Amino acid sequence: MKKAYATLEQIQKIAETYDTPFYLYDEKGIRENARKVQKAFSWNNGFKEYFAVKACPNPSILKVLKEEGCGTDCSSLTELQMSDACGFSGHDIMFSSNETPLSEYVFADKLGGIINLDDFTNIEELEETLGSFPETMSLRYNPGGYFQIANTIMDSPQDAKYGMTTDQIIEGFKILKSKGVKHFGMHSFLASNTVTNDYYPTLAKQLFELAVRIKNETGVELNFINLSGGVGIPYKPDQEGNDIEVIGAGVHKVFDEVLVPNGLGDISIFTEMGRFMTGPYGALITKVIHFKHTYKEYAGVDACAVNLMRPAMYGSYHHITVLGKENAPADKVYDVVGSLCENNDKFAIDRELPELEKGDYLFIHDAGAHGFAMGYNYNGKLWSAELLLREDGSVKLIRRAQTPQDYFATLDIDDTMKKYL
C-alpha cells in the first residue's frame, strides 16, 4: 500500500498559508533516492546521472539534485538557462534535443555542455552553425524494429522520431573523428516507464555490442554510453517497483562481459532518469469541494487536469490517499473529477475510497515527474504553487501560484483587460 509522506495535520497547517491545489515535493525522499542511484552504479568510475529537467523543471529541485552529484539533461533553451542559473556548467549539462533551433546549439556550446545530436543531418548543420565541432560529441541511436525483453515487446523504436540508424551512427562517428572530435559518446532511449529490472541491462548489452562494432569499424573508442531514461515507477499499489541496485548490478555484468574483453573497460556510464528520480516524491494536494449524484457518484475537487494531465491524456493511474482516513474502509466508489469543460477531466474513475466529505484533503501520489511540468491554461485555469517539504519538516515555497495577472500579462490588450492587471 502506498503511504503519503505528509499527514493530515501537516497539510492542514500548510493550507493555512497556501491555498489548494498545490504540489508538495519530498526533499528527503529525493535525496535518499539519488544516493541509491549513485551507489548502484558506483562500480563505474565515470558514472553520472543527468536528471531529465523536463520531468520537474524547478530550480529548487535541481539544486537538491546538484548537491547529490547529478547533472542535468536539457532539451530546450529554457532548460539550459535554468541549469546555468542553478550552477550547472560544462559537462554537467547534456543537451539532447530534436528539431533544434540553431541558436540553442550555440547556447549549449557556450555553456560547455555535451551536445547529443538526434539526427544524421544535424552533424553538418552543427558544423555550419558553430564553425567547428566541440572536442566532445554524442550521437543518439535508434536500432529500429521492436525492442523486447525476453519474449515481451516493450516498445517499437521504428516508430519513434528519435535517433539515427545503425549505418548512420557509424558513419557519423567516422565524420566526427575526421573533423577532429576527440571524445565520443552514444545515447539511446528505447522504452518508457519500464517497471522491470531487466530494461537497462538489456539496453546496455545492445549498446555495448554496438560500441565494440564502432571501435572495430571506425577506430572510435567511446568515452561514455548514456542509457538515457525509461526506468519507471510503480503507479499502482500492487505493482513491485524497480530495484536500482539490481539494475546497476545487471549493467555491471554485461559491461564486464562485452566491453572489458574488447578493451573498452574505461567507458563511463551515464543515465538521465526523470520519473524514477522525482516521480514518487511529488504529490498533488487537492481538496474535495462538491458532490454530484447522477448515474455515478462524483467527487469534485479544486484541482483539475491542468494541474495533472496524465490521467486525462493517457488514462494513467495515480493512487489517491484520503488524508486522515488512511485506515478507514474503502467501501465507496467515486469518479474524482475536476472542473474543466472536458469529460476526461478525471483523476480517478470508479475508484474505491473511504466515504468522502467536503473539505477532505486528497494526496494524489507519484506526481513528481511530468506532473506540474505538463500544466496548461485551458479554461483560463491557473497553475498551482509548488512547495518543498524540507528534511527538517519545514515547508518552502519554490514556485508561487499563477495569478490572473500572470495569465493576462502576455496579451496585446491595450486597455481591454487593464482593470485586471
Give 15-33 pLDDT, tens digit per residue: 999 999 999 999 999 999 9
**Is residue 155 very low, low, confident or very high in pLDDT (cuts 50, 70, 90)?**
low
Q: What is the CATH number of the domain that holds 402?
A: 2.40.37.10
Shared domain check, 288 and 274:
no
For residue 335, the model assigns a pLDDT of 98
Please report whether residue 180 resides in a domain.
Answer: yes
Residue 56, pLDDT > 90, answer yes
| Cα 278 from Cα 273, distance rounded (Å) | 9
Shared domain check, 271 and 154:
yes
Shared domain check, 178 and 323:
no
Give 142-154 pLDDT, tens digit per residue: 987 676 666 565 5
For residue 16, the model assigns a pLDDT of 98
Given 56, 86, 304, 341, the catalytic residue: 341
**Amino acid in the structure at residue 298:** Y
Residue 160, pLDDT > 80, answer no
What's the chain's average pLDDT? 95
Shared domain check, 285 and 252:
no
**Is residue 345 very low, low, confident or very high in pLDDT (cuts 50, 70, 90)?**
very high
Shared domain check, 268 and 397:
no
Q: What is the CATH number of the domain that holds 275?
A: 3.20.20.10
Please report whether residue 221 resides in a domain.
Answer: yes
Give 305-343 pLDDT, tens digit per residue: 999 999 999 999 999 999 999 999 999 999 999 999 999
Closest by Cα among 299, 342, 271, 349 to 72: 271
Q: Rounded to an integer, what is the distance from CA 273 to the centroid of its chain?
A: 6
Closest by Cα among 170, 237, 269 to 210: 170
pTM of the prediction? 0.95
Please report whether residue 167 resides in a domain.
Answer: yes
Shared domain check, 289 and 141:
no
Shared domain check, 238 and 289:
no
Shared domain check, 401 and 322:
yes
Shared domain check, 212 and 318:
no
Q: Tell me if residue 304 is catalytic.
A: no
Give 377-393 pLDDT, tens digit per residue: 999 999 999 999 999 99
Shared domain check, 251 and 313:
no
Shared domain check, 253 and 145:
yes
Residue ending a domain, among 228, 250, 279, is: 279
Shared domain check, 265 and 297:
no
Give 178-236 pLDDT, tens digit per residue: 999 999 999 998 888 999 999 999 999 999 999 999 999 999 999 999 999 999 999 99
C-beta of residue 1 within 8 angstroms of C-beta of residue 320: no
Please report whether residue 415 resides in a domain.
Answer: no
How many separate domains does the chain show?
2
Residue range of the domain that includes 313: 280-408
For residue 181, the model assigns a pLDDT of 98
Residue 11, pLDDT > 80, answer yes
Largest CA distance in the chain: 72
